[in-house]
Structure 1
């Protein structure tokens, strides 16, 4: 489905959150920046960790010879997931205010998965397009071209 005039476009990943508004129409997308936020990525994993990963007891039969290590918590991924959840909350607030009727989401696979789990039902009703691609560092014309190509691919062929 083509992106209608005044549709909201969210481009998000674990570090950036970009909100655009389509000031064009369904034939000519013209994205204008409404908000741009970037997470401070200054914290390093080693600064967040307090201890080495633990081990799980293998049980009486396993003895001391086999103690599998528990997987280490990925704090950086947790921070990125929380950033994407924050984007979902911003969408919820905007949807409940009636700020947009149509929404296009562009996000890489992991971020899109986290975002989909967090979307409010009012936001879900407004989603007209989701694109599984990392685009937060790309210029606006590249994002516009991606959306145009994606929406053209979804249109049924003329018979």
Structure 2
């Protein structure tokens, strides 16, 4: 069982926002303090694309097919995971945390896991595939403790 010891950081990440929390107490009665938050402006894809998808000549006479357009919204989500990875590296390198619990939706966790620096992964004590970005801090405390107890 992984415990939420004092000074353990809990990072609650979504595809466009992150909450940095630090446990001020112990595992039995966690009290998470907000030490930082970031949010990326990521409007829907229809608002980010400048033009209609391109078209290309098809094999038939006078036929044309639409080409797949870039999904700017999805691309921004993947970039946010890379940006978060850089933030965590800088904070780890500065000695801001020794223990880290990552809490994120499964897809975000997967994107994040692939870009984390070894200095950060060495400090990760647990990964929880939960989407808690819109939950209040007291509920995050309760849910993280419950998941760690079950692990």
In which range does the TM-score fall when normalised by the shorter chain?
A: 0.7 to 0.9
In 2, Cα distance between the equivalents of 1:149 and 1:30? Answer: 14
In the other structure, the counterpart of 1:46 is 46
Q: 1:106 to 1:56 in 2, by over 3 A?
A: farther
Q: C-alpha displacement at 1:54, in angstroms? A: 4.2
User: Which structure: greater strand fraction?
Assistant: 2
Q: C-alpha displacement at 1:72, in angstroms? A: 3.0
The C-alpha deviation readout for 1:13-53, integer Å capped at 9, x for no partner, is 12211000010112221100001222234x44234223333
Q: How many residues align?
A: 149
- The answer for unaligned runs of 5 or more in structure 1 is 155-159
RMSD, aligned CA: 2.1
| Counterpart pick for 2:131 among 107, 131, 134 | 134
Moved over 4 A (4+): 54-58, 65-70
**TM, length-normalised to structure 1:** 0.82
Q: C-alpha displacement at 1:124, in angstroms? A: 0.4
Q: C-alpha displacement at 1:55, in angstroms? A: 5.8
In the other structure, the counterpart of 1:13 is 14
Moved more, 45-54 or 84-93: 45-54
- The answer for unaligned runs of 5 or more in structure 2 is none
